[in-house]
Structure 1
Amino acid sequence: MTRTHRAVVRDGTGIAVRHRPTRPPGPGELLLGPEVAGLCGTDVQMLRGMRDDPAEVIGHEGIATVVAAGPGVAPELAAGTKVVVNPTHPTDPAFLLGHNVGGLLQERTWIPASAVDAGLVLPLTAVPEPDLAALLEPLAVVRYALSALRRFRPRTLVVFGAGTVGRLAVRAARRWLAEAERIVLVRRTTDDLPPEPVHAVLEPGADLAAEAAPGPVAALIATPRDATVGCLEAAIAAAAGHELAVDLVGGLPPAAGTPVLPGADLVALRAANRAGTPDPPEHAALSTTTGDRVHLFGHRGVGNDHLRIAADELVRAPERYRDLVTHGTDLDGAARIMRELATGRGRDIDGRRLVKLAVRISAPQPRHHEEN
């Protein structure tokens, strides 16, 4: 009988749980059993056809257990080890977990030798409680962003976007960006989560300048790619007369630019920092059309240390982040939710706004055991 495992598959026929072949790992490879996987904003964009990433099985956030290790894999990645996968290869664009290779929304995920050799599978010494595992990778993104912004000693932090990364950022800033005496959250949607610990919550277009403390301003932009440039322009306007540092965490449309920063290649600036390298990230010191100074950078992916620190933080203070996991389900429920997200424009699921979905993944049935 062919050994198979269950996976949430998106293909030309839609999104459904299907059986996929399971093969043992070859030399240098790993076979993982995902335990909990998250669904993020880029995943939703993929479901809605806004991105052309080819992976049929998505999901790059979560934790897993090593099921089998191929010949030559280091002993610290032996079967039974709890791990997190860094989804972004620092030098090989052919490995981007859940984007161009099969992701975590399945009972078994195969990791190629190139990713194992690059150290992208990290044994976990601090293992967050199950549902919080869906927050590990986005919290690592926040760690990288806040540590980079801290170099500029901002007195005010403005966070654009109230999705997972934005919410994590305002909660983690008190620990990782203590210099910012004022935190402002700019969001266009509301939900039933408790009020965030911020100086002000504003709608887009509100007077941001009135909320800034004297001194440098930092902006963390964690919005969908079609809103990133507009938020950058809002941050520049709000910080007029202040030194400004901006991290473009959110994606960008192709050839994105703004007349406020003539000649700035925003896409190239974001692409200069990949998988947490370099740390601190490269940035450009630019001047606006009004002569104000802007330190601008972005990044795609995080480093291994960011993931380890995020895991430690989730274990140390789970109560700070627990309510951000608004929905939890299994693979079958994930397929249903993904179909709803693919065909709609909003984020309301089962009568509540979705911030973070944690998909709890069970092991294959006994008749589908892997080979030893």
Structure 2
Amino acid sequence: MTTAAARGRRRPRSQTSSSAADIPSLSADQSSPAVTFYNRLLHQLHNNSHTIMCSSSAAPFVRRNQIKLVLPLLLLSAYLLLSFNTDARNEQSMTEYDYYAQQQQQQHRQLRANGRAAAAVLDRAEARRRREQREKRLQRQRMNGGGVGFDEERSDGGDRKLVQDTFGARTGVDYKRMAIIPRYTDRHHFDECVGLTISACQTLIDQHVSSHPLDFHNHTTLTLDIRKIRESSDVSYYKVVLRTNVLGDKVYGIFDDGVVFYPWPWTVGGQELAIGPWDCQTGGVYMSPEECCALIQEDVPMMDDGGHFLACFVEEPVGGPSNPEREDRAIVVTDGNGKVVRAPVAH
């Protein structure tokens, strides 16, 4: 085939060339460096291919070298597109991270606000509890004739111990009762007076003291300080005795262990309830009378059938500021019939 024949069989130029408008390009953001570089590569590829294909004698060469030229450019274009998509995904991930971080900050702020609200609720509950306690104390004050748990009435001065006894035989239930425990071992006790009347005991004491004046600071007689033993029928039955130390500022109890007892049941709604004992010391630290009484009253907040709330009577041992020793007296404890039930003590 001649060159003229080949030239005559060649396709029209309009079918073998393309304009710049036919070059594919990315429709993404044209300002992106990766997209701009990709578009330039495509234009360069188009120009080179057009120049080579214009030479008819180089047609076989064009086919072979087109592939060699286009394949690396396509691989590079794919790499650039992948990098562009990766950057876009990274930007999206950062946007999502910022969103979740903002959400967490909002949650933390909400939690702090909820914590402050919960603390305010607790503070209001504590204030309400204290207000209710004050109201209960005022109610006890009114019901108990003006006493706030402590009163000026003298106690029986006796030393008490709780034991099991058949108290209240009509119910068949054992109740705690008071029993004598020895105290003031360094003082003289008139044991012969137990079971006697007050007048008979006075005579016996005077005889002994007049016979031993040196043992009683040269006194020949002693004045009897008469105290009635507590009974459930007393008007002051609702008082819990708080035995303190000598200074009267710490509750020691009758065994010096801080434990306080109440000898009788507490009747509420016709039902007799056993109450106490109460431990008024923690780790060797003794409570004050006010603290101990608050503990007892919180444990038994019910008014009994007699219209009283539990109250407290502070009893200092002999020798304290409110209960000083006296050289001219003997303390005598009697029952309701005037009989001596405990050995009188000279102090």
Output the TM-score relative to the length of structure 1.
0.22
Output the TM-score relative to the length of structure 2.
0.23
Structure number having the greater helix percentage: 2
Larger Rg belongs to: 2
Structure number having the greater strand percentage: 1
